[in-house]
Amino acid sequence: MPKEKNRMSPGQLFKVYRQVERITQQCLAGKGNIQTLTFNNSAIIQKGMTFALGIEVLKYHNIIDTIINRSGLFKKKPSLKKDHGMLRIIVYEALFGEKSGDDTIQELWKRYEKINYELFKLGKLEYKNWKTILHNEKTRLGYTDNESFVDSKYAKSKTHQHDNPEIDLIRYVRINTLKTTKQNVIRKFQELGYSYMNYSDASERDAFNPQNKTIVEDNHLPDLLALYPSNSHLHDMEMIKSYEIIAHDKSSCFPPFLIYKELSGKLGKSDCLIDACSAPGNKTSYLAALFSKNKIYAFERDTARFETLSNRMMLSGAKNVECKLEDFLKTDPNDPKFKNVKAIMLDPSCSGSGIGHGSSIQKDRLLRLQQVQLKLLTHCFKFPNVQVISYSTCSVCEEENEKVTEMGLEASNGAFEVVHTFPEWPHRGLESSPVGEHCVRVDPKRDRTNGFFVVCFRRK
């Protein structure tokens, strides 16, 4: 938003808001476009500012309306429906505007205090609830930035979900086989106007235009589809809402898939698995789909994240998952209920450098993360009957990846070995590491999926 807004009097700001309210309502009702409604009306003041704010509200109107509806405001106060347009502006300013974010939101509330208007007071009261709803929607859809919600009708959406704007990631959706089949999903996409191609056909340049509405079957993971164009709008797709498909970055699918490759056909019905650090639950639900006949214990120690995890398991149909509000490090590996644990998926907190976070991370923080990661990994080794352990991060830092693998292997005292997993994936760990060739690395620029690292340990 233009900086001049900060210099406006409260009365002028409120008038601009009223203009934006009216214009955006007309646009969404199909009564004109924002350019004409703004610039061809001589009564509009601050035309540039009105247009700029209006286009931003329109860009995010889908997710804003979701937030408003899920907040329950209209049920609690039906009279607010007449103020829907103004509510959109307030939600935009609080969650997406220049003063959004916990560090600057107080400046927005101070500005609003100068205008005696009940909706502004309501916004301050509802802010935390709105913020939680936005976070849950990003988690549910696998989005890592707000711009993934942008309605391409009003602006060209950035197609990448990576913090580096030079990296254009492919958008993937995973078929949730707990609820549907690949054939049903392909048919529904075709009904929406998408063409279907297998990977080999799409690899032929003459046969594939990434700007056309297309779904492409992935060449490594049978339940994964690449979605083109990569700014395809997922938010209101019925298959997303019903959890028939789940927005899931390709590299993030590797840990469950690699455990499946190691143990497929080898587990009895009484055998179970553990997801040690589960929330938000994308990997958990995939593991549940791959091992649908086996019980999975999913651990999460944070209450809010646990609620997200539990809700996602319910919605995705993962009935074989038992969510546990516990710190995995405090579990007793010798507890009788864990005697049949044959695999553990460990994806601990990390720097996030593979998705653009922590590009300038301090060495001391890396080492602190490394200590926790190693502690979690060595705890996995203590489960007496575990056969396979996957260790993964969304980091590109050696300290969190190959180094943790090396130290973990040494700490296992010869009980475990590193498996040369996923040999068909061409990009391996660092050559300087003695375990590098056995590890899987993903580079966002090269592979067009988020940066990632995964390795599998197997009991000797």
Q: What is the pTM of this model?
A: 0.70
C-alpha radius of gyration, the chain, whole number = 24
pLDDT at site 247: 87
> Is residue 347 marked as binding?
yes
Single-letter amino acid code for the residue at 378: T
Per-residue pLDDT of 9-42, as tens digits, reads 777 888 888 899 999 988 887 777 787 788 878 8
Helix axes 61-71, 118-141, angle to 10 degrees: 110
Task: Write out the chain's pLDDT in tens, 460 residues.
Answer: 444 455 567 778 888 888 999 999 888 877 777 877 888 788 888 888 898 899 999 989 989 999 999 998 888 888 888 889 989 998 998 888 875 555 556 666 776 666 667 788 888 888 889 999 998 888 877 777 787 787 766 754 333 344 454 567 888 999 999 999 999 999 999 999 999 988 766 554 455 677 789 999 999 999 999 998 876 767 668 998 899 999 899 999 999 999 999 999 999 999 999 999 998 899 999 999 999 999 999 999 887 778 889 988 999 999 999 999 999 999 999 999 999 999 999 999 888 888 765 455 778 888 988 999 999 999 999 999 999 999 999 999 999 999 999 999 999 999 999 999 999 999 999 999 999 999 999 998 889 888 999 999 999 9
CATH topology of domain 171-247: Alpha-Beta Plaits (3.30.70)
* Helix and strand counts by DSSP (H, E) for the chain: 17, 13
Known binding residue 277? Answer is: yes
For 307-339, write each residue's pLDDT tens digit: 889 988 999 999 999 999 999 999 999 999 999
Task: Answer whether the bond into residue 280 is a cis peptide, omega within 30°.
Answer: yes
Same CATH fold, 251-459 and 171-247? no
Yes or no: say if 251 and 452 are a contact pair by the CB < 8 Å rule.
yes
Query: Is 406 annotated as a binding-site member?
Result: no
Question: For 357, phi and psi rounded to 5 degrees?
Answer: -85, 150
CATH numeric code, 251-459: 3.40.50.150
The two structure tokens encoding residue 147: 């711009």
Is 253 catalytic? The answer is: no
Q: Which residues contact 182 (CB under 8 A, 6 or more apart)?
A: 175, 222, 223
Q: Is 110 annotated as a binding residue?
A: no
Residue 299, helix vs strand vs coil: strand
Query: For residues 96 and 56, is the Cβ–Cβ distance under 8 A?
Result: yes
Structural domain boundaries in the chain = 3-149, 171-247, 251-459
Catalytic residue, candidates 253, 272, 350, 394 = 394
What is the 3-state composition of the chain as percent helix, strand, coil, each rounded to the nearest 5? 50, 15, 40
335 assigned to a ligand binding site: no
Beta carbons of 390 and 455 less than 8 angstroms apart: yes
280 is in an annotated binding site: yes
Q: 78 among the known binding-site residues? A: no
CA 223/CA 225 separation, integer angstroms: 7
Residue 377 Cα to chain centre, angstroms: 24
Q: What is the mean pLDDT of the chain?
A: 86
Cα–Cα distances in angstroms (integers) from residue 447 to residues 147, 354, 367, 443, 452, in the given order:
22, 12, 27, 6, 10
Residue 229 is encoded by which pair of tokens? Answer: 């164009």
